[in-house]
Structure 1
Amino acid sequence: MESTVTYNLEQCIDHIGFGRFQWRFAIILGFFSMTEAMEMMLLSIIGPVLQCYWPDITDFQVASLTSCVFFGMMIGALSSGILADKYGRRRIGMISSVILAVFGVATAIAPTYNWVLVSRTFVGLAVAGETPVFTLAYEYIPSFARIVCYVCADLCWSIGSILIYILGMLILPSYGWRLLTLVCAFPAIMILLLICFLPESPRYYVASGQQEKAEHVLQKVAAANNRSLPEGKLVDKQAYEECGSIKYLFHARYRRSTVLLAYMWISSCFGYYGIVLLNTELMTLAKETNSSHAVLNTTNSTKCHMLGTNDYISLIFTTFGEMLGVPFLLFLIPRMGRRSISIVQYSIATVWFIVLLFVPRNALTIISIITFFGRLFLNSQFNFMYIYTMEVYPTVVRSAAVGCGSTIGRIGGILAPYIAQALVKRAYHATIGIYIAVIGLGALCACFLPIETKGQSLKQAVVDTDDVWKPTEHLTESSRLTSVDEKNTPNEGYESTMDEKTKKNITE
């Protein structure tokens, strides 16, 4: 009886390689990262301006304005991840883009503080709701280029951060915060148009039992890259499993990872967004220390501090630290295990916060250098959480895992403004001490991560058939030979059929 040659999704995507189709995805990923960065970094410069525009709002209300965005992101990350596994990544990404555009414009025309509060909550929901777009792109990119593309998307995040600071420097002094907010809403419309031209993920189709659609999409991708599908038949070896079910996150194989990653998500989000907000607040503290630069509002105790050109230049300088984090992460990924990378990044970030304890508040140059390196390692670790989470969990629950991780992480984002924007003005050293404790504990959690994903392919099922352990100590010699023959099936050879020239170009 003649055996049928089969291949799985990972082998098929690697065989198709990295071509015109993947470049299109890479560009969209970069544009999306820039848009998300602009919406998030807007929070770090709009607070001081609103205190000048509405003199009655307090530091606590400014912090609440930032926290409400993370509250929206917490809801959006959880719901979008589960819905994307059930109804598709592309569909949820399109809906989120519409919400982002609508409420971005609503923020610009907000007549009151409460209107801004509600609008920014929905903006946060939409930003997190577009996370499935990352998952969609990640599942189309071959394994040898996956990490490189994702880290390059992180580079685009830094470019978006620099862009919003430049726009703030040019627009805020002359035209006000409303025009700046409106400009930030336009890229969401572009993202919506771009998503319309993207197909759904074949991994989602296979995991949801739509085998024919998966094969049809793969044929289109191969044609776009001037390649053909591997010989044989696409076979889904997984048993039926309910897509998007959170219960699989607590499967015996993933339970420990889920608990540890939950705290690591919180500490990464708390640390990164905290240092971004702290960067701006330390500038205002320096102005208060040097009283000649402080302007006291006569109606109440709220101080109005418009950021100056030097402040924006300092913010741009520290953002370049995030850009250096990209080659740093690219250097570490092929050389170190995932667990070790997290330990290194958390530990170095903790050291920089310890140094910050002993720096005078008015030493802006030294503070800028410290926040430069702090943003480098914390941004790298925060984005690394997405990479590691997508590698640990299988297709049937991958979007839900990233969504849940991002959701839990937003708890850190909700708390960060109250520490970095409110508490720091009352208890500076206590604020820095909190950051040291939270980030240091993240390094400790990384030490106990049970799953190492370096060099491993993405799993399709919670219990993938490739992972089933087959004991050999009780096998006869004949059984061992049979086992070896079965292992050396044509499936194992498809990885070697990748276009080596393409692989070399992408790696370089």
Structure 2
Amino acid sequence: MSSQNLPDMRDLQQPLIPSSDRKSDGQEKLTIDEMLQKYCGEFGKWQLKHFILTSLAWALEAFHTMVMIFADRDPKWWCTGPDCWAQAQICGLPPGSWDWVDGPGSSTISEWGLMCDDKYKVGLVQALFFFGCMIGAGIFGHLSDSSLGRKGSLTTICLLNGILGCLTALSPNYLVYTFLRFLSGLGTGGVGMCAFVLATEPIGPSKRGVAGMSTFYFFSTGIALLSGIAYLFPSWRSLYVASSIPSILFVTFIIPFLSESPRWFLVRGKAKDAMKVMRLMAQSNGRILPQDVHLVLDDDANNTNYVENPKDDGSPIEEREAIKGSLRDVLRSPVTRLRLYLAVVINFCCAIVYYGLSLNVVNLDTNLYLNVLLNAVAEMPAYTLTAIMLNKFGRKPLTIGTMWFSGVFCLLATMMKSYGTWKILRMICGVLGIFGMSGTYNLLFIYTVELFPTVVRNAALGCATQASQMGAILAPLVVVLGTRLPFALFSICGIFGGLLGFYLPETLNRPLYDTMTGMEEGEAIWIS
């Protein structure tokens, strides 16, 4: 699809499918977006409560992902013998001439001797965790679109993470620890994806973008809280327990108050359940949803041939067989195939830059807890600015702009020397680079969600998340290449990813499609 045919053809503030007055036998048939705009409210009290409770899962993802920074940290050591004081490195020192300041249980490195020739094992654990995330994103992306649903998948993931995190604290050796971290990655890879979709699908089109961008505040807050938890629990074993229990508490006390997505109910042929959620939403928002209004999928919007079954209150509601979708359907459609390829590559490039620049925090010779806290806080202004500009400039220009912003400053960093004022300027360029890419990382979630219909949304988002995790796996390998070369590669990824953004369509104020047919018909109207 040519990019020149998209945003300049018509006013992006106008919905692609106008509000409908479709009626059959006195029944008004509306899509979910139309019902939200006309009767239920796009972002009322119900959506606010549901959004906050669901997005708490993002903090849990931050706990399980970033705990490695503290559990696998380089602990401090001190000399105990006369042959030690002239050395600045542990490697080469005779046994008994040095010891760990906080004891062997403060870190996995000190407990299992993962230094010197075995230092690579620390990076191996982290890479396998992200490899697990990549696989888990695909698995739970499929399950959340099919049998488990959004809420069921999130419940399973959080319970799995809580149990595995506590078991990790009992690891008797390095091999068991590595295996359990890989299994934790399987669950962690799907947390943010399922929470994001479940939180944003019940929100109306004009509010969905800003709300979706706001989910990342919970992730950054989780990182900030983790630095405090790590300070209170200096032992790596106690830290894993302390950072895992919140996931079990989330399943016990928060999940029961969440509703399944009405969009998932609808595409699974459960129109009655979808209408129950919509009526509860309207009631909580102080709105009235008439009895003669019910939901239809976008590909049925103009079809009046329905089989109507009575509800308990006697009013008719439409039922149909569940509509299933898979990645095969995404690849089969010319509309979604190109979108998937672009989303995968752009997410891959974004993750290499984001995680690559973030990993430098462990290389700074300052307080680790404070560094992680400041790094988390520094990302929040990027989320705020992108949220403010999202509905003004649109998803496409903002994606291109933030990636180029990061790429340009990474390019400038390659020109800086490693001493004096140049060293400070390089640090500033790195901060601005992660500032821009944080905005991109945030934006890509809402953008990817809007590019695909409900029936395959999480499967497509799972692929994009898998690509992101692949970038996270490669990021540490890029960081060890030296000083200038990593910045050069980060710059290439940022600028190239921005260029690919030109081939994506704008989704500002466009409807969230439910089916592949509905999207293809909608895009045909848009292009014409």
Aligned match of 1:464: 518
1:27 and 2:39 correspond: no
1:359 shift after superposition = 4.4
Partners of 2:155 and 2:255 within 8 A in 1: yes
Among residues 299, 303, 314, which one is paired with 2:371 in the alignment?
314
Equivalent-residue separation in structure 1 for 2:477 and 2:72 (angstroms): 13
Partners of 1:241 and 1:396 within 8 A in 2: no
Q: 1:190/1:376 Cα in 2 relative to 1: closer, same or farther (>3 Å)?
A: farther
Aligned match of 1:6: 29
Partners of 1:82 and 1:244 within 8 A in 2: no
1:430 shift after superposition = 2.5
- Alpha-carbon deviations, 1:292-337, whole Å to 9, x = none? xxxxxxxxxxxxxxxx53x432333232221111211012212213
User: Mapping of 1:450-489 within 5 angstroms?
Assistant: 451-464=505-518, 467=522, 469=524
Partners of 2:64 and 2:243 within 8 A in 1: yes
1:238 and 2:299 correspond: yes
Aligned match of 1:187: 246
Aligned match of 2:206: 144
1:65 and 2:90 correspond: no
Partners of 1:64 and 1:417 within 8 A in 2: no
1:202 and 2:262 correspond: yes
1:76 and 2:136 correspond: yes
Equivalent-residue separation in structure 2 for 1:237 and 1:436 (angstroms): 41
Equivalent-residue separation in structure 1 for 2:59 and 2:523 (angstroms): 41
Counterpart of 2:498, as a letter, is A
Partners of 1:205 and 1:214 within 8 A in 2: yes
Higher helix share: 1
1:328 and 2:385 correspond: yes
Partners of 2:47 and 2:202 within 8 A in 1: yes
Equivalent-residue separation in structure 2 for 1:93 and 1:433 (angstroms): 38
Aligned match of 2:484: 429
Equivalent-residue separation in structure 2 for 1:61 and 1:314 (angstroms): 24
- Alpha-carbon deviations, 1:84-131, whole Å to 9, x = none? 111211111111111100111112221212222111112211112322
Q: 1:29/1:149 Cα in 2 relative to 1: closer, same or farther (>3 Å)?
A: farther
- Alpha-carbon deviations, 1:176-204, whole Å to 9, x = none? 22222221102211221212222221111
Among residues 230, 253, 264, which one is paired with 1:168 in the alignment?
230
Aligned match of 1:129: 190
Aligned match of 1:274: 356
Partners of 2:125 and 2:181 within 8 A in 1: yes
Structure 1: state its 5+ residue gaps: 288-307, 474-508
Counterpart of 2:497, as a letter, is G
Counterpart of 1:160, as a letter, is G
Partners of 2:297 and 2:515 within 8 A in 1: no
Partners of 2:217 and 2:380 within 8 A in 1: yes
Counterpart of 1:430, as a letter, is L
1:389 shift after superposition = 0.7
Among residues 235, 247, 259, which one is paired with 2:328 in the alignment?
247
More deviation, 226-235/35-44: 226-235
Equivalent-residue separation in structure 1 for 2:123 and 2:144 (angstroms): 31
Aligned match of 2:181: 120
Counterpart of 1:463, as a letter, is T
Q: 1:455/1:144 Cα in 2 relative to 1: closer, same or farther (>3 Å)?
A: closer
Q: 1:244/1:77 Cα in 2 relative to 1: closer, same or farther (>3 Å)?
A: farther
Equivalent-residue separation in structure 2 for 1:470 and 1:373 (angstroms): 40
Aligned match of 1:443: 498
Equivalent-residue separation in structure 1 for 2:477 and 2:353 (angstroms): 13
1:154 and 2:216 correspond: yes
More deviation, 55-64/436-445: 55-64
Q: 1:213/1:355 Cα in 2 relative to 1: closer, same or farther (>3 Å)?
A: same
Q: Provide the secondary structure at the position in 2 that maps to 1:6.
A: strand
Aligned match of 1:372: 431
Equivalent-residue separation in structure 1 for 2:216 and 2:523 (angstroms): 35
Equivalent-residue separation in structure 2 for 1:336 and 1:277 (angstroms): 31
Q: 1:313/1:233 Cα in 2 relative to 1: closer, same or farther (>3 Å)?
A: closer
Q: Provide the secondary structure at the position in 1 that maps to 2:280.
A: helix
Among residues 268, 272, 285, which one is paired with 1:212 in the alignment?
272
CA RMSD in angstroms, aligned pairs only? 2.5
Equivalent-residue separation in structure 2 for 1:247 and 1:362 (angstroms): 55
How many residues align? The count is: 439
Aligned match of 1:106: 167
Equivalent-residue separation in structure 2 for 1:53 and 1:133 (angstroms): 35
Partners of 1:44 and 1:276 within 8 A in 2: no
Counterpart of 1:145, as a letter, is K
Aligned match of 1:55: 113
Equivalent-residue separation in structure 2 for 1:470 and 1:47 (angstroms): 54
Partners of 1:338 and 1:453 within 8 A in 2: yes
Aligned match of 2:90: none
Equivalent-residue separation in structure 1 for 2:242 and 2:128 (angstroms): 21
- Alpha-carbon deviations, 1:263-294, whole Å to 9, x = none? 0111112221221112323x1xxx5xxxxxxx
More deviation, 50-59/135-144: 50-59
Partners of 1:392 and 1:453 within 8 A in 2: yes
Aligned match of 2:85: none
Q: Provide the secondary structure at the position in 2 that maps to 1:458.
A: coil
1:339 and 2:396 correspond: yes
Q: 1:434/1:80 Cα in 2 relative to 1: closer, same or farther (>3 Å)?
A: same
Partners of 2:142 and 2:459 within 8 A in 1: yes
Counterpart of 2:476, as a letter, is P
1:412 shift after superposition = 0.7
1:42 and 2:67 correspond: yes
Q: Provide the secondary structure at the position in 1 that maps to 2:335.
A: coil
Q: Provide the secondary structure at the position in 1 that maps to 2:509.
A: coil
Aligned match of 1:265: 347
Equivalent-residue separation in structure 1 for 2:66 and 2:403 (angstroms): 22
Equivalent-residue separation in structure 1 for 2:401 and 2:457 (angstroms): 26
Equivalent-residue separation in structure 1 for 2:385 and 2:498 (angstroms): 18
Q: 1:366/1:280 Cα in 2 relative to 1: closer, same or farther (>3 Å)?
A: farther
- Alpha-carbon deviations, 1:444-471, whole Å to 9, x = none? 211222x110121111121217627579
1:16 and 2:74 correspond: no
Equivalent-residue separation in structure 1 for 2:523 and 2:381 (angstroms): 41
Partners of 1:318 and 1:369 within 8 A in 2: no
Equivalent-residue separation in structure 2 for 1:469 and 1:343 (angstroms): 25
Question: Looking at both structures, which has the greater relative contact order when contacts are Cα pairs under 8 Å and sequence separation is at least 6?
Answer: 1
Counterpart of 2:402, as a letter, is Q
